[in-house]
Amino acid sequence: MKWKKKEKKQVEGGLDLSWKRYLLPPVHEQGVLFAAIALLVTIVVLYWSRGLNFFGLICLALTLAIYYFFRNPARIVPQGKGIIVAPADGIVSNIVTRIPPREMQLGSTPLTRISIFMSVFNVHINRAPIGGTIKHMHYTPGKFLNIADKDNEDNERNEYTLETPEGVQIGFIQIAGLIARRIVPFVKEGSVLKTGERFGLIRFGSRVDVYLPKDVVPQVIVGQTMVAGETIIARLGTQPTQSNGESI
């Protein structure tokens, strides 16, 4: 009897809906070294203890936590002109009107700022809120204070100004928090990004702010859960969103 080879389920758009997507998500290259070191320590502890014990369980849990922290899932990005998506996973912690930092070169007019707070349990890969070219980048060293919902200008941060092909400028900022100790950008000035494309990460919990262009109204509220690259937070115009998406 010949056994028929089990056919792989084809999913529209190439999106993986198998159990591996949830239990073994892809990990970003930034986390490979950390996970490998943790795994090596776990193996050594298990070897010397001749079996699984309390310390072995702690090392194993730490290894899994590091792997989980650096997970890098694909996202289905909404398609359509003028769509602005969430740059980070997490919770909308604040929506206020503020003058953007002068380093962003967005002028002195107060703009709507949406703040998204990331806990240590969120995906920490950050994504471009809209497609365009990085016109300005500015790194500001600083402290590591709690910034869930506060206007704290003392924290370490990385500021970006992106210009769309239509000439509209949007600013966004990665801000290190109480636990975060490293902002890792994937881009530089002149980089061209698509909406939802990965532009950096912040290690171990922090916040990302988005400054909307003038007269653009946010479509999210405080307390709402965000999915980076997927949740629409605002629109530049009134163009309808297409129903299909692109996985990146």
Task: Convert the pLDDT of each residue in 182-241 to its tens digit.
Answer: 788 999 999 999 999 999 988 766 889 999 999 999 999 999 999 999 999 999 975 444
What is the predicted pLDDT for the residue at 9? Answer: 40
Quote the CA–CA distance of 248 and 245 in Å, as a whole number.
Answer: 10
Domain presence at residue 148: yes
Residue tagged active-site, from 108, 115, 206, 243: 206
No. of H helices and E strands in the chain?
A: 3, 15
Residue 88: pLDDT over 80: yes
Regarding predicted confidence, which is higher, 6 or 235?
235
What is the predicted pLDDT for the residue at 143? Answer: 60
Average pLDDT of the chain is 81
Is residue 247 flagged as an active site residue? no
Quote the CA–CA distance of 160 and 188 in Å, as a whole number.
Answer: 9
Instruction: Name the β-bridge partners of 226.
Output: 90
Lowest mean pLDDT among 25-39, 101-115, 130-144, 203-217: 25-39
Q: Which domain holds residue 165?
A: 76-237
Kindly report, residue by residue over 218-231, the tens digit of the pLDDT: 999 999 999 999 99
Considering just the CA atoms, what is the radius of gyration of the chain in Å? 20
Looking at the structure, tell me whether residues 206 and 172 fall in a common domain.
yes
SS3 for 118-173 is ECCCCCCEEECCCCEEEEEEEEECCECCCCCCCCCCCECEEEEEEECCCCCEEEEE
Looking at the structure, tell me whether residues 121 and 167 fall in a common domain.
yes
pLDDT band at 24 (very low <50, low <70, confident <90, very high): low
Please give the biggest Cα pair distance in the chain: 77
Contact, 66 vs 38, CB < 8 A?
Answer: yes
- What is the domain count for the chain? 2
Domain end position, chosen among 48, 69, 90: 69
**Looking at residues 28-48, what average pLDDT do you find?**
77
Place of tokens 């100004």: 161
Looking at the structure, tell me whether residues 167 and 59 fall in a common domain.
no
Residue 3 DSSP code:
P
**Looking at residues 100-126, what average pLDDT do you find?**
91
What is the predicted pLDDT for the residue at 131? Answer: 96
Domain end position, chosen among 69, 92, 111: 69
Q: Where are the beta strands (DSSP E) in the chain?
A: 76-78, 83-85, 90-98, 111-118, 125-127, 132-140, 157-163, 169-176, 182-185, 192-193, 198-203, 206-211, 225-226, 232-235, 245-247
Q: Determine how many CB atoms are found less than 10 A away from the CB of residue 151.
A: 10
Looking at the structure, tell me whether residues 191 and 131 fall in a common domain.
yes
Residue 1: pLDDT over 50: no
Q: Determine how many CB atoms are found less than 10 A away from the CB of residue 42.
A: 20
What is the predicted pLDDT for the residue at 244? Answer: 57
Contact, 142 vs 155, CB < 8 A?
Answer: yes
Kindly report, residue by residue over 131-144, the tens digit of the pLDDT: 999 999 999 886 65
